[in-house]
Structure 1
Amino acid sequence: MAPRRTGRRFEGHPTYQAEARPGGAVALYEPRFAAARRAALTHRVDPGDRLDLLAHRYLGDAQKTHVLVDLNPTLDPESILEPGRRIAVGEE
């Protein structure tokens, strides 16, 4: 099946059709599995840090805040910017 175009985070990821009810199909994304992680580049959060600014600084694109959240899966997204916390911001 051709990749679904969304213009968003999952753009280009393959999908499959599932029948939600008789005659009603729904497009779902195929499961993804995380690749083995390399050593993480970290950042110590300072007061006033924002995910969009960190994404721009380390990833070159302020729209890639989801990458920072994905790099820190054990953290609650609401507490990711707690001052003093060390967060992963990329791979070395």
Structure 2
Amino acid sequence: MSTHTSPNAQPTPRGNRFLTWLKNRWLGIVVTALMVVLLIQNIGIINSINISLLWIQISAPVWVLLLVLFATGAIAGVSFARSREKARQDSHKK
């Protein structure tokens, strides 16, 4: 399936656009769903986990740490995707 379209190409039907969107993002959707299940399963755990990073020690419930790690990964993923898209746009301008 080519991503390039000719100037005379017909617009794609709405169903096809959704399938294309889904095919491009299936891994992110699966990872997000697994993370939500993991958070829900661990939300009832009251035990805290201690994490040491250099001289900082953090003590928090498991679900809070999982949520922070997921959010950090999501922010990094969005940041890399935006910089990659910007690099593509810059290369097309040349």
TM-score range, shorter chain: under 0.3
Which of structures 1 and 2 has the larger relative contact order (alpha carbons within 8 angstroms, sep 6+)?
1
TM-score, with length taken from structure 2: 0.19
TM-score, with length taken from structure 1: 0.19
| The structure with more radius of gyration | 2
